[in-house]
């Protein structure tokens, strides 16, 4: 396999996956500390690409340099975080249950740890050319798990993807990893992705992108003779509750905060707050006024590419075409290539009647839903369940008046924010970037943070295995010095 | 809902699931110690059914009293194990990452724990009327997680299922749990199961049984507008390697051990060793001779029901109909109602050519595959991957000669046994009762042991939530005194 290949035929895909399986069988045996060094070397090689990488991505995505420098930092940080996780070692969830020969029936010696699934296919996102793409969280977590990885390059930033692939190839060579531990394939047609998911050696799939794409890959994987796990992270409208007392006390500052979040990065975040829900009140009028004034001052900006801009224009037009929906912001005509921010408005009753208003409008857009009372607010909120995030802007008085809201929030989204904005996804052990369908295809996992590795592993139990034949993580004297569950006692 | 209902129409199923969702929203809020007391009360109420339960099940299943007493003990032990897990509390995988306001960008306070998915449908197994059925591992783990449960009663032991359901109903009343936390529905038609899986409120499915049933439920769940997780535990042939030096040294004792395992409980275990793989040698001849002598002495016995017996007869006839397959055991004619044990024999080359020989023959049956060398043995072994267990009978010399075998075993099965028999599934934290497809529909989970709870939960992250509004598991002063990950450090 060359560094990057354009794949058009099924025999070529079979060859890629055979190579990936072959590499996997070697790579998974490499000890965790060497895998850690490999991940750190990938981070080093990405940094070594220097300005060429940043300039290439700027040209391909219209994203500003400061943003790309920040995203590159997050990407290398993620790789190093997984390296640290591998060196620390407890993530394998090792468990030891000693034999009890005198029990009736006799209890055998049983030991358990997590092992890698096999070759993983990664489909990156257009809006995060580094952090959710070629060497992003899916690739980093799968390589950390001990899986080989095949990245299907995103056509919107193909040159960026090739550069990152070259950095990984350099790290493979430097660290003497199996040659096809990572492979980078190109191919514009949807058939390429479908064939990769259906190939028998493929063991799991990570995807970040649209609902239609993520759902299609999930369906292909489920229909295989041997189904495989698919973690698709798809659209999200990230509903925000603006509670009465919070508006009463802080309408203007909340409006300013949210104007920033809605338009950050031209609204091109999966955690962009696209739905604001509030109860009619004088304070809400003040919120609207401040929000609209702030939004009207945001200059029109270039989106990632013309396709994204066209979809933004179409989706917001679809929303505004609903009779009951008003545009609160200025009617600035779109020029050929820039996106303007927009705040739509609808009543709770009309929102509930129009399914199309629940759909994500990817871009600097939000719809404010004005409800008559708390019951309608809850109805509206529940009707958009299945989210990456949901946010509650409220005071102690608000939460004392409605103690049920935080519990409700946990059924709606994977991350519940109080008095903050959902944009900005911190990378740490407590982060959950996931949520009920359709936010993702499996709410039991996260795509961000060290727990992202759990998507690519399965437990294996060793029964009555002599100590010298056990993996180090399970040996009696615990040579890796990791936290383990011993005889049912957590984390000895 | 009455204690047990025969469900025939879609509106009835909608009603059951609405009630289940309603109960779930209350039940999940009940604190873990009360849930623990509820699980312990179910165990108590099952024991209080006394001899009536045992006699009823004996009449329905032909299983002997000693076996049923043992299985009842395992069932109540499982319930108490999950109660202990709830009281101990670390299973929620709580994680705390403190805010770092001075970081750029500022890091918010983030905390994460596992929460219940929603109403779970449980389809029990015919061969374990207690431990994998109405109040078996799926129900116990789902109730522990905080899910409501709807059990679709197994038609082969419906009276047993009703009695167990009455015990759970008594426990619900005694512990003042929401009325429909557990519901028991009957209905012979496959359509009832399908409709339960497809009902919108259904959040997850646990199934133990045949490949065709488990796969069908998986497919229905995947095709829903909102797909849900299905954990189907299906067939397994549990391949056993009989390595050269082990046979050389212990052919007779291994044969005796396996004659017992193959015929234990009339072979009606999902971990029954159905495939034995060895290399031709004089020691193997001794093994065969001892095994066949022992098997020929096993008296014919009643299976669970006539349908299981008929399937056993058909499946073993299908195997014996393959030209190259020989029956090593006596040609004892089957009587009308009893099953005789049988050992078939085939060469490695012929096994590889005949797909039908890989299929599970549920009953007291095994096929011995005689290979020419270690390479053919590995080919045969790999060709039957996707197992609950695989066993290796070997000496230190065997494993020194072939150090790759144990690593290979981990790709084939969820549990790898050395020098033992796969029948007998110990219930503990290190147990993995699961494995690659088709052993289960998701190899990332186990159906036995405390980790079985992980099938029914998802992580939720709280961002910037005031301490008094957090669940106890995440409060700063750790009132539950559980092991938590704090600022990325495991299990503080």
Exposed / middle / buried, residue A211 (Cβ in 10 Å: 0-12, 13-18, 19+): middle
Q: Are A226 and B386 an interchain contact pair (Cβ–Cβ within 8 Å)?
A: yes
A40, A71, A186, A233: which one is catalytic?
Answer: A233
- Among this protein's residues, is A428 annotated catalytic? no
Q: Which residues of B touch A118 (CB under 8 A)?
A: 411
Angle at A358 (CA atoms; ends A357, A359), nearest 5 degrees: 90
Phi-psi region of B194 (alpha: psi -120 to 50; beta: other; left: phi over 0): alpha
Q: Would an 8 Å CB–CB cutoff place A111 in contact with chain B?
A: yes
**CA dihedral of B288, B293, B299, B301, whole degrees rounded to 10:** 0
CB-CB neighbours of B335 under 10 Å: 9
On chain A, the residues whose CB falls within 8 A of the CB of B450 are: 488
What is the C-alpha separation between A35 and A89, in angstroms, rounded?
12
Answer whether B97 sits within 8 Å of A396, measured CB to CB: no
Contacts of A468 (CB under 8 A, 6+ apart): none
Q: How much is the ipTM here?
A: 0.96
Angstrom distance (rounded) from CA B284 to CA B298 = 21
Q: Is B106 on the interface with A (CB under 8 A)?
A: no
CB A331: neighbour CB atoms within 10 A?
7
CA nearest to B235, candidates B327, B408, B363, B369? B363
Instruction: Provide Rg for chain B, Cα atoms.
Output: 24
- For chain A positions 388-427, those within 8 Å of chain B (CB to CB) are 396, 399, 406-407, 410-411, 413-420, 424, 426
Nearest C-alpha neighbor of B97 from the set A78, A432, A144: A432
Which 8-state DSSP code applies to residue A108?
Answer: P
Q: Assess B211–A contact: CB distance below 8 Å, yes or no.
A: no
**CA atoms of B97 and A428, how far apart (whole Å):** 7
Return the DSSP state at A189.
S
Beta-carbon-side half-sphere exposure of residue B360 (alpha carbons within 13 Å):
26
- Residue A28: closest C-alpha in chain B: B407
DSSP A9-28: SHHHHHHHHHHHHHHHHHHT
Summarised one tens digit per residue, pLDDT across range A248-275 is 999 999 999 999 999 999 999 999 999 9
Is there a contact between B226 and A490 if contact means CB atoms under 8 Å apart?
Answer: no
Angle between helix A65-88 and helix A32-48 axes, rounded to 10 deg:
170
Q: A387 to chain B: nearest residue by CA?
A: B460
- Summary mean pLDDT of chain A: 95
Nearest CA-CA partner of A265 in A125, A441, A418: A125
Please indicate if any CB of chain A lies within 8 Å of the CB of B229.
Answer: yes
Distance (Å) from the alpha carbon of A329 to chain B's nearest alpha carbon: 29
Residue A331 banded pLDDT, cuts 50, 70, 90: low
Cβ density class A132-169: b for 16+ within 10 Å, e for less: bbbbbbbbbbbbbbbbbbbbbbbebbbebbbbbbbbbb
The separation between CA A23 and the C-alpha centre of its own chain, rounded to angstroms, equals 26
Q: Which residues of A touch B461 (CB under 8 A)?
A: 414-416, 430-432
Neighbours of A332 (CB within 10 A): 12
What does each C-alpha distance from A307 to A273, A300, A319 come to in angstroms? 21, 17, 18
C-alpha A185/C-alpha B256 separation (Å) is 54
Q: Is B490 on the interface with A (CB under 8 A)?
A: yes
pLDDT at B1: 44
Q: Say whether A426 and B88 touch across the interface (CB within 8 A).
A: no
**Measuring CA to CA, how many Å separate B151 from each of B112, B162, B366, B389?**
30, 11, 33, 27
Chain B partners within 8 Å of A111 (Cβ): 430
Q: Do A416 and B462 touch (CB under 8 A)?
A: yes
Q: Which chain B residue has the Cα nearest residue A29?
A: B407
Alpha-carbon gap, residue A221 to A366, rounded angstroms: 34
- The yes-or-no verdict on residue A375 having pLDDT over 50 is yes
Residue A311 CA to residue A396 CA, distance in Å, equals 40
What gap in Å lies between CA A148 and CA A91, rounded to an integer? 19
Answer yes or no: are the C-beta atoms of B211 and B233 closer than 8 Å. no
How many beta carbons lie within 10 A of that of residue A404, not counting itself?
Answer: 12
CB contact under 8 A, B107 and A460: no
CA distance B83 to chain A (A): 13
CA distances from residue B352 to B237, B241, B340, B359, B377 in whole angstroms, order as listed: 15, 16, 27, 12, 10
Are A211 and A27 contacting, i.e. CB atoms less than 8 angstroms apart? no
CA gap B371, B352 in Å, rounded: 11
Output the 3-class SS for chain B: CCCEEECCCHHHHHHHHHHHHHHHHHHCCCCHHHHHHHHHHHHHHHHHCHHHHHHHHHHHHCCCHHHHHHHHHHHHHHHHHHHHHHHHCHHHCCEEECCECCCCCCECCEEEEEEECCCEEEECCCCCCCCCCCCCHHHHHHHHHCCCEEEECCHHHHHHHHHHHHHHHHHHHHHCCCCCCEEEEECCCHHHHHHHHHCCCCCEEEEECCHHHHHHHHHHHHCCCCCCCEEEECCCCCCEEECHHHHHHHHHHHHHHHHHHHHHHHHCCCCCCCEEEEECCHHHHHHHHHHHHHHHCCCCEECCCHHHHHHHHHHHHHHHCCCCCEECCCCCCCCCCEECCEEEEEEHHHHHHCHHHHCCCCCCEEEEEEECCHHHHHHHHHHCCCEEEEEEECCHHHHHHCCHHHHHHHHHEEEEEECCCCCCCCCCCCCCCCCCCCCECCCCCCCCCHHHHHHHEEEEEEECCCHHHCCHHHCCCCCCCCCCEECCECCC
Partners of A367 in the β-ladder? A275, A344
Q: Does the pLDDT value for residue A328 go beyond 70?
A: yes
Which residue of B lies nearest to A453 if distances are taken between CA atoms? B444
Q: What gap in Å lies between CA B227 and CA B220, rounded to an integer?
A: 9
CB contact (8 A) between residue A444 and residue B451: no
Cross-chain Cβ contact A429/B95 below 8 Å: yes
The values of phi and psi at residue B421, to 5°, are -115, 145
Q: How far apart are CA A400 and CA A379, in angstroms?
A: 20
Is B429–A111 a contact, with Cβ atoms under 8 angstroms apart? Answer: no
A391 membership: H or E segment, kind and range: strand A387-393
Residues B182, B152: Cα–Cα separation, whole Å: 11
Instruction: Name the H helices within A186-324.
Output: 190-198, 211-222, 244-263, 282-296, 306-320
Helix (H) / strand (E) containing A414: strand A413-418
Res A3: pLDDT: 60
How far apart are alpha carbons B294 and B289 in whole angstroms?
9
Residue A73, chain B, CB below 8 Å: the answer is no
Which of B26, B396, B444 to mutate: most A Cβ within 10 Å?
A: B444
A430 touches B486 (CB < 8 A): no
Give A458's contacts in chain B (Cβ within 8 Å).
414, 434, 436, 443-444
pLDDT digits (tens, 9 = 90+) for A401-421: 999 999 999 999 999 999 999
**What are the pLDDT tens digits along chain B (492 aa)?**
456 677 768 889 999 999 999 999 999 999 999 999 999 999 999 999 999 999 999 999 999 999 999 999 999 999 999 999 999 999 999 999 999 999 988 999 999 999 999 999 999 899 999 999 999 999 999 999 999 999 999 999 999 999 999 999 999 999 999 999 999 999 877 889 999 999 999 999 999 999 999 999 999 999 999 999 999 999 899 999 999 999 999 999 999 999 999 999 999 999 999 999 999 999 999 999 999 999 999 999 999 999 999 999 999 999 999 999 999 999 665 666 899 999 999 999 999 999 999 999 999 999 999 999 999 999 999 999 899 999 999 999 999 999 999 999 999 999 999 999 999 999 999 999 999 999 999 999 999 999 999 999 999 999 999 999 999 999 999 999 999 999 998 876
Task: Quote the CA–CA distance of A169 and A165 in Å, as a whole number.
Answer: 6
Active site residues of B: 233, 270
As beta bridge partners, residue A440 has A233
Task: Name every chain B residue with its beta carbon within 8 A of the beta carbon of A105.
Answer: 424
Report how far apart, in Å, the C-alpha atoms of B68 and of each of B74, B143, B265, B395 are: 10, 23, 11, 36
Contact B461 A432 (CB under 8 A): yes
Q: How far apart are CA B422 and CA B273, in angstroms?
A: 7
Task: Provide the chain B residues 118-177 that lie in CB contact (below 8 A) with chain A.
Answer: 118
Selected for mutation to probe chain B from A426, A430, A466 (highest B CB count within 10 Å) is A430
Q: Catalytic residue among A71, A147, A270, A360, which?
A: A270
CA distance B327 to chain A (A): 31
> Chain B: nearest CA to A463, how far in angstroms?
5
The number of helix segments (H) and strand segments (E) in chain A equals: 15, 19
* Tens digit of each residue's pLDDT (9 = 90 or more) over A39-68: 999 999 999 999 999 999 999 999 999 999
Q: Does B236 touch chain A (CB under 8 A)?
A: no
3-class DSSP assignment, residue A408: helix
Provide CB contacts within 8 A for A475, sequence distance 6+: A467
* Separation of alpha carbons B309 and B302, rounded Å: 8
User: Hey, are the CB atoms on A441 and B227 less than 8 Å from each other?
Assistant: yes
pLDDT of B331 reads 65
* CB-closest option in B110, B441, B444 to A458: B444
- The pLDDT score that the predictor gives to residue A1 is 44
Distance CA A369, CA A278 (A): 6
Output the CA angle B363-B368-B370, nearest 5 degrees.
Answer: 165
> Structural domains in chain B?
4-234+441-486 (3.40.605.10), 240-418 (3.40.309.10)
């Amino acid at each position: 396999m060359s560094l990057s290949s354009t794949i058009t035929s099924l025999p070529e895909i079979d060859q890629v996956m055979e190579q990936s399986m072959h590499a996997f069988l070697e790579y998974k045996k490499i000890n965790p500390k060497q895998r850690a060094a490999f991940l750190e070397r990938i981070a080093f090689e990405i940094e070594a690409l220097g300005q060429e990488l940043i300039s290439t991505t700027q040209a391909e995505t219209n994203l500003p340099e400061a943003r790309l420098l920040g995203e590159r930092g997050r990407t290398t940080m993620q790789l190093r975080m997984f390296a640290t996780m591998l060196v620390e070692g407890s993530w394998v969830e090792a468990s030891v249950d000693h034999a009890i020969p005198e029990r009736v029936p006799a209890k055998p010696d049983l030991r358990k740890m997590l092992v890698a699934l096999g070759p993983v296919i990664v489909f990156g996102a257009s809006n995060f050319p580094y952090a959710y793409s070629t060497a992003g969280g899916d690739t980093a977590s799968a390589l950390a798990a001990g899986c080989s990885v095949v990245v299907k390059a995103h056509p919107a930033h193909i040159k960026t993807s090739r550069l990152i692939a070259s950095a990984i190839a350099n790290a493979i060579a430097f660290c003497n990893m199996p040659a096809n531990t990572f492979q980078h394939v190109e191919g514009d047609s949807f058939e390429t992705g479908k064939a990769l998911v259906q190939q028998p050696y493929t063991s799991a799939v990570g995807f970040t992108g649209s609902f239609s794409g993520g759902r299609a890959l999930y369906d292909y994987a489920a229909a295989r003779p041997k189904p495989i796990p698919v973690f698709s992270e798809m659209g999200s409208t990230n509903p925000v509750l603006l509670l009465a007392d919070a508006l009463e006390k802080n309408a203007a500052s909340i409006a300013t905060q949210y104007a920033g979040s809605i338009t950050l990065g031209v609204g091109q975040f999966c955690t962009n707050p696209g739905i604001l829900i509030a109860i009619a009140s004088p304070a809400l009028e003040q919120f609207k006024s401040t929000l609209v004034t702030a939004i009207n001052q945001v200059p029109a900006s270039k989106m990632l590419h013309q396709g994204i801009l066209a979809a933004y224009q179409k989706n917001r037009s679809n929303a505004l075409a609903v009779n009951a929906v008003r545009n609160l912001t200025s009617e600035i005509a779109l020029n050929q290539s820039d996106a303007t921010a927009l705040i739509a408005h609808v009543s709770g009753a009309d929102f509930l009647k129009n399914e199309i208003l629940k759909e994500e409008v990817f871009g600097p857009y939000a719809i404010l839903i004005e409800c008559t009372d708390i019951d309608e607010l809850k109805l509206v909120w529940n009707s958009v369940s299945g989210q990456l995030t949901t946010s509650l802007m409220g005071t102690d008085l608000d939460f004392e008046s409605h103690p049920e809201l935080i519990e409700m929030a946990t059924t709606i989204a994977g991350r519940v924010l109080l008095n903050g904005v959902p944009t900005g996804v911190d990378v740490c052990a407590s982060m959950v970037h996931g949520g009920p369908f359709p936010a993702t295809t499996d709410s039991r996992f996260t795509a961000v943070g060290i727990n992202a590795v759990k998507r690519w592993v399965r437990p294996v139990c060793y029964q009555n295995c002599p100590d010298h034949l056990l993996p180090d993580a399970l040996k009696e004297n615990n040579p890796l010095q990791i936290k383990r569950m011993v005889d049912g006692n957590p984390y000895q």
